[in-house]
Amino acid sequence: MPTTSITLDVNGSPHRLDVDNRTSLLDALRERLDLTGSKKGCDHGQCGACTVLVDGRRTNSCLVLAVSAEGSDITTVEGLADGDTLHPVQQAFLDRDAYQCGYCTPGQICSTVGMIEEARAGMPSHVTTDLTDGEIELDDEEVRERLSGNLCRCGAYMNIVPAVHDAACAHDATTAAATGTGTGTGTSTGEATTTPAAAATTTAATAGTAATAGTAATAATAATAGTAATAATAATAATAGTAGRAATAATATDGATR
Cβ nearer to ligand FES, comparing 4 with 257: 257
Within residues 100-139, the interface with ligand FES by CB under 6 A covers 100-105
Distances (CA, A) of 170 to 16, 17, 81, 87: 36, 37, 15, 10
User: Rounded distance, CA 1 to CA 61, Å?
Assistant: 21
DSSP state of 138: B
CB of 143 to ligand FES, least distance (A): 16
Residue 7's DSSP bridge partners are 16
Residue 17, number of CB atoms within 10 A of its CB: 17
Within residues 40-69, the interface with ligand FES by CB under 6 A covers 40-43, 45-50, 60, 62
CB of 206 to ligand FES, least distance (A): 17
- Which one among 37, 90, 99, 136 touches ligand FES, defined by CB under 6 A? 99
- Asked if 130 and 143 count as a contact pair (C-beta separation under 8 A), the reply is no
Cβ nearer to ligand FES, comparing 61 with 212: 61
* Nearest one of 178, 160, 63, 50 to 112, comparing CA atoms: 160
Cβ nearer to ligand FES, comparing 50 with 94: 50
Side-chain-side CA neighbours of residue 182 (13 Å): 14
CB of 99 to ligand FES, least distance (A): 4
Cβ nearer to ligand FES, comparing 11 with 60: 60
Cβ nearer to ligand FES, comparing 77 with 152: 152
Cβ nearer to ligand FES, comparing 48 with 190: 48
Tell how strand 51-54 and strand 73-75 pair up: antiparallel
User: Rounded distance, CA 235 to CA 215, Å?
Assistant: 5
CB of 170 to ligand FES, least distance (A): 21
Stretch that binds ligand FES, among 38-46, 76-84, 114-122, 175-183 (CB under 6 A): 38-46
Q: Residue numbers of the site for ligand FES (CB under 6 A)?
A: 40-43, 45-50, 60, 62, 99-105, 152-154, 156
